[in-house]
Amino acid sequence: MKRGYKDLVEEAEREIVTLSAGEALALSGDPGVVLVDLRDIRELAREGKVPGAVHAPRGMLEFWVDPDSPYHREVFSQDKRFVFFCAGGLRSALATKAVQDMGLENVAHIAGGFGAWRDAGGPVDKPEQR
């Protein structure tokens, strides 16, 4: 393997904006900011959700962002700041770079992801008990 995931994440981190969990918490509730949860639905069911965050599974993100895609989601056509997060900050770094490369502006990700958000006291809607 010539370049592993660590190399890709390090490269992405050099080119994107990374927010601390505290900085992301300060933006929470701002009508000009959209928090985007990239985690798998099983992670959401197990760990809970950030209230008000848009769920965009990592595997569909580029399709949802592209206005020419049949899977496009209007939320990504809004003139807002998009703050991406995953469980620990690796997938969100790669996703943020990908959408930035696609031309989506004003994007960032949360260092440490959902775990850092939760540990910083960020609100979490607990998963439903089955």
Closest CA to 121 of 22, 36, 28, 18: 22
Partner residues linked to 34 by β-bridges? 82
3-state secondary structure at position 35? strand
Q: What is the mean pLDDT of residues 58-65?
A: 97
Is the per-residue pLDDT at 21 higher than 70?
A: yes
Alpha carbons within 13 A on the beta-carbon side of 92: 30
102-127 pLDDT tens trace? 999 999 999 999 999 999 999 999 98
Structural domains for the chain: 5-119 (3.40.250.10)
Is the per-residue pLDDT at 76 higher than 70?
A: yes
| CA atoms of 129 and 38, how far apart (whole Å) | 22
89-98 pLDDT tens trace? 999 999 999 9
Contact 18, 92 (CB under 8 A): no
Sequence-separated (6 or more) residues with CB below 8 Å from residue 23: none
